[in-house]
Amino acid sequence: MKRFFVFFHLFLLVYASASSQIQQGLVKTPGRINADGEYVPGKGISNVLVKVKGANEVNSGNTGCFSLKLLKTKFYLENVIKNGYVLVDNDVLSKEYSISPDTFKIVLAAPQEQLDAEVANYRRIRRNLTRQLQKREDEIEELYASNKILKAERDSALQQLYSAHANNEKLIKDMVERYSRIDFDNLDEYNRKISEYILEGELVKADSMLNSKGDIHSRIKQLRSQERINEAERAELDEREAALLKSEEYARKNLDDIAADCYHKFEMFKIQHLNDSAAYYIELRAGLDTTNIDWQFDAGVFISEYLAEYDKAVNYYKLALQSALLKDGGRHPDVAASYNNIGYIYNRQGDYAKALEYYNKAVEILLSVLGERHPDVATSYNNIGYIYNRQGDYAKALEYYNKSLEIRLSVLGERHPDVATSFNNIGQIYHSQGDYAKALEYYNKSLEILLSVLGERHPDVATSFNNIGQIYYSQGDYAKALEYHNKSLEILLSVLGERHPYVATIYNNIGLAYHSQGDYVKALEYHNKSLEIRLSVLGERHPDVATSYNNIGLAYHSQGDYAKPLEYCNKSLEIRLSVLGERHPDVATSYNNIGLAYHSQGDYAKALEYHNKSLEIRLSVLGERHPDVATSYNNIGGIYYSQGDYAKALEYLDKSYGILKDFLPDEHPYIKTVRGNIEYLKSKINKQ
More confident residue, 50 or 165: 50
Establish if 94 belongs to a structural domain.
yes
**H-helix segments, 391-476:** 394-412, 417-432, 436-454, 459-474
Both 103 and 40 in one domain: the answer is yes
Exposed / middle / buried, residue 496 (Cβ in 10 Å: 0-12, 13-18, 19+): middle
d(CA 73, CA 99): 5
462 in Cβ contact with 488 (< 8 Å): yes
- Same domain? 36 vs 69: yes
Mean pLDDT of all residues in the chain? 88
Domain match, 47 and 102 both: yes
Residue 504 resides in a domain: no
Residue at 457 is within a domain: no
With residue 9 as reference, give the H or E element that holds it.
none
Residue 424 has a pLDDT of 96
For residues 602-625, give the mean pLDDT.
93
Report the CATH number at residue 62: 2.60.40.1120
Written as one string, the DSSP assignment of 81-145 is E-TT-EES-GGGGT--EE--SSPEEEEEE-HHHHHHHHHHHHHHHHHHHHHHHHHHHHHHHHHHH
pLDDT at res. 4: 26
> In this model, does residue 172 exceed pLDDT 90?
no
- pLDDT value of position 134: 85
> H helices of 272-351, where?
275-288, 293-302, 310-328, 333-348
Which residues 6+ apart lie within 8 Å of 343 measured at CB?
354, 355, 356, 357, 358, 359, 361, 362, 383
Q: Is the pLDDT assigned to residue 359 strictly greater than 70?
A: yes
Q: What is the mean pLDDT of residues 121-127?
A: 75
Q: Is the pLDDT score of 16 beyond 60? A: no
Which residues fall within 8 angstroms of residue 439, CB to CB, at 6 or more apart?
Answer: 427, 428, 429, 430, 431, 471
Q: Please say if the pLDDT value at position 336 is more than 50.
A: yes
| Residue 353, domain member (yes or no) | no
The angle formed by the CA atoms of residues 22, 27 and 32, to the nearest 5 degrees, is 140
Interatomic CA distance for residues 301 and 12, integer angstroms:
13
Task: DSSP letter for 12, please.
Answer: P
pLDDT at 247 (0 to 100): 93
**Position 635 pLDDT exceeds 70:** yes
Give a yes or no: residue 47 inside a domain: yes
State how far the Cα of 340 lies from the Cα of 354, in Å rounded to an integer.
Answer: 11
pLDDT at 363: 95
Q: Is residue 104 part of a domain?
A: yes
Residue-level pLDDT at 166: 65
| 409 touches 419 (CB < 8 A) | yes
Claim to verify: residue 54 and residue 119 sit in the same structural domain: no
Report yes or no on 126 lying in a domain.
yes
Same domain flag for 103 and 155: no
Q: What is the pLDDT of residues 264-322, one digit of tens each?
A: 999 999 888 888 999 999 999 999 999 999 999 999 999 988 888 889 999 999 999 99
Q: Are 344 and 19 in contact (CB under 8 A)?
A: no
- Reported as a single tens digit per residue, the pLDDT across 542-586 is 899 999 999 999 999 999 888 899 999 999 999 999 988 898 889
State whether 151 and 78 are in the same domain: no
Percent of the chain with pLDDT over 90: 59
168 falls in which pLDDT band (50, 70, 90)? low
Q: What percent of the chain has pLDDT over 70?
A: 95
Structural domain count, the chain = 2
**Residue 323, amino acid:** S
Q: Kindly give, in sequence order, each residue whose CB lies less than 8 Å from that of residue 316, ignoring residues fewer than 6 positions away.
A: 286, 296, 297, 299, 300, 303
Are 172 and 197 found together in one domain? yes
Window from 36-50, 121-135, 497-511 with minimum mean pLDDT: 121-135
pLDDT of residue 1: 26
> For residue 126, what are the domain limits?
113-216
Same domain, 105 and 145: no
Q: Note whether 154 and 62 are same-domain residues.
A: no
Predicted confidence band at 11 (pLDDT cuts at 50, 70, 90)? very low
pLDDT in tens, 366-399: 999 899 999 999 999 999 999 998 888 888 999 9
Q: What per-residue confidence (pLDDT) applies to 167?
A: 65
Q: Are residues 54 and 87 in the same domain?
A: yes
Average pLDDT rounded to a whole number, residues 107-125: 81
Q: What is the pLDDT of residue 126?
A: 74
Structure confidence at residue 169 (pLDDT)? 64
Q: What pLDDT is attached to residue 107?
A: 93
Lowest-pLDDT range of 8-17, 256-265, 417-426, 637-646:
8-17
Q: pTM score > 0.85 for this model?
A: no
Task: Give pLDDT, residue 53.
Answer: 87
The DSSP bridge pattern shows strands 32-33 and 39-40 to be: antiparallel
Statement: residue 15 has pLDDT above 50: no
pLDDT on residue 14: 26
Number of Cβ within 10 Å of residue 452's Cβ equals 10
Q: Quote the pLDDT of residue 200.
A: 72
Contacts of 239-245 with CB under 8 Å at 24 or more apart are: none
Q: What is the pLDDT of residue 5?
A: 27
Residues 101 and 143 occupy one common structural domain: no
For 74, 185, 193, 222, 227, the CA distances from 213, given in Å and listed in that order, are 35, 21, 13, 13, 19
Q: Are 490 and 482 in contact (CB under 8 A)?
A: no
Residue 291 has a pLDDT of 92
Burial class (CB in 10 A: 0-12, 13-18, 19+), 294: middle
Last residue of a domain, one of 90, 109, 128: 109
In a domain, 118, yes or no: yes
CA 213 to chain centre: 57
Buried b (16+ CB within 10 A) or exposed e, 62-91: eebebebebeeeebebeebebeebebbeee
Which among 170, 187, 216 is the end of a domain?
Answer: 216
Closest CA to 363 of 342, 340, 346, 341: 340
Note whether 133 and 212 are same-domain residues. Answer: yes
Q: What is the mean pLDDT of residues 123-151?
A: 83
Domain boundary among 178, 198, 216: 216
Is residue 112 predicted with pLDDT exceeding 60?
Answer: yes
CA 148 to chain centre: 90
